[in-house]
Structure 1
Amino acid sequence: MINTITLNPSLDYIVKVDSFKVDSLNRNQEEQIYAGGKGINVSIVLKNLGVENTALGYVAGFTGDEILRQIRGYGVSCDFIKLNNGFSRINVKLKSDGETEINGSGPEITSEDLKILYEKLSGLTKGDYLILSGSIPNSVPDDIYENIIISLLDKGVEFIVDATKDLLLKVLKYKPFLIKPNHHELAEMFNVELKSDEEIIKYGKKLQEMGAKNVLISMAGDGAILLPENGEAIKREVPKGVLKNSVGAGDSMVAGFLCGYLKSNDIDEAFKMGIATGSASAFSEELATEKEVYELLKQFN
């Protein structure tokens, strides 16, 4: 079984306004509301690709109810913990002459709430995959991902981690199956400026030396680099297409990689599937569908 965790999901409210004016009434030209969160995106794309999985995390209030309604609308199995107080955050994205974002903080997660999550995770067994992705709310310890992995080390669970800086660096010694930083996050981790593929590979290998088995580095329109556990670095370009929306592309790459690996047991095939899936989301207003992914996969043959 595959499980994703989204500790601080959101309702993302996207508003488009012509020539936004401060201190004035503005009328929106277009609006969208959708469930947000990196783990949620992974779960939805996996389901779109025919891979059953369960989405876990925390929700609260009326916004939490809407998040669950939307996720279930994709056919994803949910096992979120419903908090008694507060409400799941709302993130506002205002698109006009520029783009402005206001992110909510989300409900408080107590130590008792965390115990419930650990109890749910204790049922995972050998061969299961757990995907830990995204930022964490201020109310949980900053070593939460590390603690989750420690609690499952004797279970034989495989871990995939898509997080930034310390959240990621702290878990490398536990040998996660896959990590997926982008090239900007990789540079930030080592406080360097990466100017070439060779430099990206050099610092990606440092993450492997610290424990990661497979390192997938996304580079937006410049493609991606995979450092497999066994073998040399592989660089692949993105398929041809028109960029429409980069939100969720990295999460889609994670979902596609895992789907490809489960179907083929081949790392390079998984890599192709990951790039095709990430690109399919980037070339669409919504998250990648199976049809879109397999159309793009033809460009690799």
Structure 2
Amino acid sequence: MIYTLTLNPSLDYIIQLNSFEEGRVNISNSEHKLPGGKGINVSQVLKNLGHESVALGFLGGFTGDFIHVELLKQNIKCDFIKLEGDTRVNVKMKSGNVETEINGNSPEISQDKKEELFKQLETLKDGDILVMAGSVPLSLESDIYKKIMAGLPTGVKVILDTKGKALGEAVKSGPYLIKPNHHELEELFDIKIQNKNEMIEYGKKLQKLGAKNVAISMAGDGAFLITENSVYFGNVPKGIVQNSVGAGDSMVAGFTAGISEGLNIETCFSMGIAAGSASAFSKNLCTLSEVKKLLKDIKIEKIN
């Protein structure tokens, strides 16, 4: 079974305006609400690709209830831990070609709720896949992903998509795959990467720290995959970017789908790029037909 863990979910409130004037009353053209959070996005894309998953994490209040109901409408299995406070709201405002985000703070997660999560994860079994994705709430320690991995049963395959201190700590516990983008790679090592050779160099440093496989996404410039024995480069197919939100999560979902099907890692990489691109070229998270359409345009090159 595939499990996704979202420690810091959100209700995403998306507003479209013709124009925005600071300090004035602005009227929206359209608005809609979506369940948000990287792990939750992965579960939604997996469902679109024909794969079942169980969404785990923390939800609270009326905003948490909204997320739970919306996921159930999509027939996504959920086993969230209930909090007293309200799940945060993230506002994403689009005015012309400009996007502005205001991200809320997560509710307090108590020690007993954290322990409940650890007990829940102890029930996973050999062969299960756990996708841990997203930021860490302020009320949890930055090395929480590392601690979670230390307590997992043997044989659980971990896919990790986070950044900063959380990534730096968790990579030491040997996740099967991590997926930083090039900005997150620069932030982690506090450097400015000048070329693709340096991208590979720092990706390999993450591998030496413990990650078995490292996928580095570079938006329209393609992606690298560094495995135990090889380095691969994959191009991004041509298309018009309509929405950057969820593209990275879709890449993780595509990769995860391939792993669960037992495909070789190059094919999983190709599926990840296709899913990420399909979501970027769509107003919503990608569908299976959109991913299949793009797969034929992706070429995976082995780098000597």
* Structure 1 residue 250 corresponds to structure 2 residue 248: yes
Matched with 1:118 is 118
Q: TM-score, normalised by structure 2?
A: 0.95
Residues 236-289 of structure 1: per-residue CA shift (max 9 Å, x gap)? 110121111011111100110111223243010001100000001001001011
Matched with 1:283 is 281
SS in 2 for 1:278: helix
Q: Point out where structure 2 has 5 or more consecutive residues left out of the alignment.
A: 300-304
For residue 267 of structure 2, the aligned residue among 263, 266, 269 is 269
C-alpha separation in 2, matches of 1:276 and 1:16? 27
Partner amino acid, structure 2, of 1:91: N
CA offset at residue 203 of structure 1?
0.5
Contact 1:124 1:155 in 2 (8 A): no
Matched with 1:172 is 171
Partner amino acid, structure 1, of 2:236: V
Contact 1:261 1:269 in 2 (8 A): no
Matched with 2:128 is 128
Matched with 2:302 is none
Count of matched residue pairs: 298
Q: Point out where structure 1 has 5 or more consecutive residues left out of the alignment.
A: none
Contact 2:235 2:298 in 1 (8 A): no
Matched with 2:5 is 5
Matched with 1:216 is 215
C-alpha separation in 2, matches of 1:20 and 1:62? 29
When the two chains are superposed, the root-mean-square deviation of aligned CA atoms in Å is: 1.3
C-alpha separation in 1, matches of 2:172 and 2:25? 53
Matched with 1:140 is 140
Percent identical pairs in the alignment equals 52
Q: TM-score, normalised by structure 1?
A: 0.96
Residues 56-93 of structure 1: per-residue CA shift (max 9 Å, x gap)? 0011111111001111222210000111x221111111
Matched with 2:154 is 155
CA offset at residue 162 of structure 1?
0.6
C-alpha separation in 1, matches of 2:298 and 2:13? 36
